Amino acid sequence: MRTLVKNSYRAIDDGAYENKEERDYLHHDSIDLRNRIIECQNIPIITEIKYASPSKGVLADPMKVTVESIAQVMQNSGATGISVLSQPFLFNGSITNVYKARRASTLPILMKDIVVSEIQLKAAKKAGADYILLIKTIFDMNLTESTLETIIERARKIGLGVILETHTTDEFKEAMVMNKKYKQQNLIGINNRNLDTLEISLDTTKNILAENPKSGNVIISESGIHKGSDIAKLLAAGADAFLVGTSLMQDTEKMADGIKEIISSLNR
């Protein structure tokens, strides 16, 4: 975790979040991912564009498979939203990839990163993102420039929605309490990956939701989702939407079929 945080500060110092595009999306009307999930008539899937991961290494070559082409496949295949990695280190992401996805798609866009600074919020908005991911563990460890509440308030002020990511029952409970202030407008993520060991277990979502009522919150299960049977297990546990990335990026030629298989495998 500390390595990921260190990489974010390094990326900021390197100018990785500076606006290098001719156009920015500061006045882009944010697309409400929460409503899209609630109103979805099928399985709400947030598909993810990432070219590498700390656990799997390189997943795809951006010179051969462009962000624009991936975003279009995701949208045409029925995705509810698109997550785009903007962290350059270990994930081979960039803020430019968020721009490219925004230009290629009309779906809600999540800028997924290790957010530690308001600099990243401003970059997300300019790039056309509708949502950002905030990892509660990082804020609890006091590794960020501002408090979690301050970052959420700043994000909301500039028109960014928030997915507040949790990993444990205690984090989830605290996120639920915090979200009362925002009338359940923040989405709550449960990451099935242990960020220290990188091990994945879908039982993380199952166990957390078994112990805690959702109380009107929209819950996204993240990591380790590969097929329809995984979705069935997580739906039964109470998850509302599902973030799927690595399994799709590992075989981009079959991405469309993979998304459609997941979405059509179950009826809500």
What percent of the chain lies above the pLDDT cut of 90?
77
At 121 the three-state DSSP class reads helix
In 10 A of CB 144, how many CB atoms? 22
- DSSP state string for 4-37: HHHHHHHHHHTTTTS--SS---TTPPPP-HHHHH
**How would residue 268 be classed by pLDDT, with cut points 50, 70 and 90?**
very low
Which residue out of 7, 192, 221, 223 is catalytically annotated? 223
Which residue out of 48, 77, 100, 186 is catalytically annotated? 48
Q: Which residues contact 165 (CB under 8 A, 6 or more apart)?
A: 133, 134, 135, 136, 189, 190, 191, 222
In 10 A of CB 51, how many CB atoms? 19
**How would residue 253 be classed by pLDDT, with cut points 50, 70 and 90?**
confident
Catalytic-residue membership of 76: no
Give the per-residue pLDDT at 265: 66
Catalytic-residue membership of 223: yes
Question: For residue 115, is pLDDT > 90?
Answer: yes
**How would residue 266 be classed by pLDDT, with cut points 50, 70 and 90?**
low
Distances from the Cα of 117 to the Cαs of 2, 133, 150, 163, 166, in angstroms?
15, 12, 11, 16, 19
Q: Cβ(24)–Cβ(158) under 8 Å? A: no
Q: Alpha-carbon distance 179 to 195, whole Å?
A: 23
At 132 the three-state DSSP class reads strand
Q: Alpha-carbon distance 126 to 66, whole Å?
A: 21
pLDDT tens per residue across span 197-217: 888 999 999 999 999 999 999
Question: For residue 195, is pLDDT > 80?
Answer: no
Residue of 8, 87, 90 whose CA lies nearest to 57: 90
pLDDT tens per residue across span 26-80: 888 999 999 999 999 889 999 999 999 988 899 999 989 999 999 999 999 999 9
Catalytic-residue membership of 48: yes
pLDDT tens per residue across span 79-94: 999 999 999 999 999 9
Which residue out of 165, 171, 179, 247 is catalytically annotated? 165
> Between 254 and 265, where is the model more confident?
254
**How would residue 22 be classed by pLDDT, with cut points 50, 70 and 90?**
low
Buried b (16+ CB within 10 A) or exposed e, 89-98: bbbbbbbbbb
Which residue out of 83, 86, 179, 222 is catalytically annotated? 222
Which residue out of 50, 100, 125, 126 is catalytically annotated? 50
Q: Which residue type, as a one-letter code, is found at position 135? A: I
Which residue out of 100, 112, 125, 126 is catalytically annotated? 112
